[in-house]
Amino acid sequence: MSEIVDYWQLLLIPVFFGLGWAAARVDMRQVVHESRTLPRSYFQGLNFLLNEQPDKAIDSFLEVAKVDSQTVELHFALGNLFRRRGETERAIRMHQNLIDLPDLDDKVRLQALSELGQDYLKAGLLDRAEEIFNRLLGSSFEEEAKRNLLEIYQVEKEWLKAVEIARELPDVASHREIAEYYCELAANEIMRSRPDEARQYLDVAMQENRKCVRASLLQGDLLLQEGKPLEAIEAWQRIEQQDPAYLALVAQRLLETYRKLERVAEGIALLSGYLERYPSLDLLEVVYQLVLESEGTEAAYRLVRAELQRNPTLLGLEKLMSARLPLAAPEVRPDVELAKTIVQGYTKRLSRYRCDNCGFKARQFYWRCPACGGWETYPPRRGEEFDQSL
């Protein structure tokens, strides 16, 4: 019986082979037929792409689009390519031509409209982009449109509109980011000397995110503006429970407020405690200035030397040389000055803040990265401290 089964299996092999060969011939005939219908410019464009000649490839594909205006996918591909290359005018024309085609499928027209909105956004034509994305609300491209509208409102600093859109996109904008929008509104009101409105926005920011450091910082600023320095200090001190790394951002405020209150010793004790528990180059700078003013050069030098021994950094070494220079003997002072100058050449690039998200470096601290747009992605640490923590 097994011999009969084996015999039939042997007979089936050529049958299956023949069926596969026939199917392949049908597919090949279809491919050949379709390829003959494509214009020569299409293959020239492919050849240019393979030979890394994108400009010539674009020209060839444009010829294809002229020959057959119904080549929808090619229009999309060319439009996206133009946008990525920064040729937004050509991208806009390409997608606008698609929208103007008669008898275009509704879904394809909506896609072309979405692409046109992104062209306008890339070109900085925010009003036109906003108009298009608003037209897409209620369509299958609604979520993408809302994402783009959120970006537009942040660029235009339309924070209330940003809040409204962000609440509809919980997977995109967190409570932390919404709290930042309210902090932006509060900061504007503080600048306009409208404390009541600012306080309301800050209260909402804290409701959105109890650990919103910026809200505590601005509350302190507002209280100081109203002539309540002790309450301002209390507001800034709350940052230790929220995120102690950000104490460096309010250290200068604390210093100046304690000076005005003529309670420098209390300020030194508070900030020195912060420095001991949460080492920071920015905190060191503030405490150094306080000790220098109240206790003199020798005490300031000892402070910096002890901190450098505990947390060795080039930026700390530069500060040590600055503190040492007034104490140095006249014959060695030029050498100390020279060493300080050399170290400064290295520390210039180390004294910047760095975005955790994209790595963009800046000399000043940002709540929102100017490169990637991320909120609270800048740790309040200098570049050298950032590298040491990795």
Cα gap 353→219, rounded to integer Å: 24
Cα gap 159→180, rounded to integer Å: 9
Cα gap 349→383, rounded to integer Å: 8
Per-residue pLDDT tens over the stretch 281-312: 788 888 888 888 878 888 777 877 887 777 77
- Domain span(s) for CATH 1.25.40.10 in the chain: 2-165, 174-239
Residues 6+ away with beta carbon under 8 Å from 99: 109, 112, 113, 116
Closest CA relative to residue 303, chosen from 282, 272, 327: 272
Cα gap 38→172, rounded to integer Å: 43
As assigned by CATH, the class of the 243-350 domain is mainly alpha
Q: Annotated binding residue at 212? A: no
Closest CA relative to residue 108, chosen from 116, 66, 34: 116
Report pLDDT for 4.
Answer: 43
Helix (H) or strand (E) holding 160: helix 159-167
Dihedral angle sign, alpha carbons of residues 271, 260, 232, 159: negative
What is the distance, to the nearest Å, from the Cα of residue 52 to the centroid of all Cα atoms in its chain? 32
Closest CA relative to residue 184, chosen from 198, 170, 173, 174: 198
For residue 7, report the phi and psi dihedrals to the nearest 5 degrees.
Answer: -65, -45
The CATH code that applies to domain 174-239 is: 1.25.40.10
Low-confidence residues in the chain, pLDDT < 50: 1-38, 41-52, 65, 67-69, 383-390
Per-residue pLDDT tens over the stretch 32-80: 344 444 455 444 444 444 444 555 555 555 555 453 445 677 677 777 8
As assigned by CATH, the class of the 2-165 domain is mainly alpha
Share of the chain above pLDDT 70, in %: 73
Q: Annotated binding residue at 183? A: no
Could you tell me if 119 and 79 are in contact, meaning their C-beta atoms sit under 8 angstroms apart?
yes
Per-residue pLDDT tens over the stretch 315-343: 666 666 677 777 777 777 776 677 667 66
